[in-house]
């Protein structure tokens, strides 16, 4: 089977550094034979999670679409900034909504067993790596399979060239490899047991 990956950045900004970075990983995954769906969080905005809103109005349509996207892909490519050394609020809010069960849905069903490659980009000198520690812990709690290799791009405002590639060839190769790693792991998990 062809691995199906969902790619997104944990940033709402239209031209975010993290969206640029995840697009490179998307190329690596596609070169490895994966089918990749790239979605921006701003394409399917969700309200701030509120249990009263959920009880009064039910699950927002965009949350149901996010659930469908997560369930229909075997793996993910995620690039996220950090805010105050933590996961961005909008990204955490999205995951909180997706984790809310709907009828006939098992706990963590949209997340369970999904392979994830993680990366980050930041204008700072620490490349948003501290935030990735929090993201990894959260995704593991949601029963996702987070691959060990990560990439952090520091001084991201100067890191990309005019074609959307990373100016440092070594960093470019690592970003491509993160996409390939996710595709390869999904393919291995799909392979029939001899």
Token representation of residue 112: 């369970």
Q: Residue 127: what pLDDT?
A: 81
User: CATH number for the domain including 139?
Assistant: 3.40.50.360
Encode 102-127: b = buried (16+ Cβ within 10 Å), e = exposed. eeeeeebbbbeebbbbbbbbbeeeeb
Q: Residue 19: what pLDDT?
A: 97
- Helix ranges (DSSP H) in the chain: 17-31, 51-57, 61-71, 89-99, 129-141, 169-190
| Spatial CA neighbour of 132 closest among 194, 85, 179 | 85
Q: Residue 54: what pLDDT?
A: 95
Under-70 pLDDT residues of the chain: none
Q: Residue 129: what pLDDT?
A: 87
Domain count, the chain: 1
């Amino acid at each position: 089977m062809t691995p199906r990956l969902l790619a997104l950045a944990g940033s709402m900004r239209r031209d975010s550094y993290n969206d640029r970075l995840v697009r490179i990983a998307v190329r690596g995954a596609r070169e490895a034979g994966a089918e990749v769906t790239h979605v921006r969080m701003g394409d399917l905005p969700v309200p701030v999670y509120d249990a009263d809103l959920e009880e009064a109005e039910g699950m927002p349509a965009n949350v149901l679409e996010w659930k469908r996207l997560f369930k229909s892909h075997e793996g993910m490519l995620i690039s996220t900034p950090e805010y105050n050394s933590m996961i961005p609020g909008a990204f955490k809010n999205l995951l909180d909504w997706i984790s809310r069960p709907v009828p006939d849905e098992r706990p963590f069903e949209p997340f369970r067993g999904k392979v994830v490659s993680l990366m980050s980009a930041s204008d700072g000198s620490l490349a948003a790596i501290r935030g990735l520690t929090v993201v990894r812990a959260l995704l593991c709690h949601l029963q996702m399979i987070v691959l060990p290799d990560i990439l952090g791009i520091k001084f991201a405002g100067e890191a990309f060239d005019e074609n959307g590639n990373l100016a440092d060839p070594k960093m470019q190769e690592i970003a491509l490899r993160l996409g390939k790693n996710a595709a390869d792991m999904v393919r291995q998990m799909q392979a029939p047991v001899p």
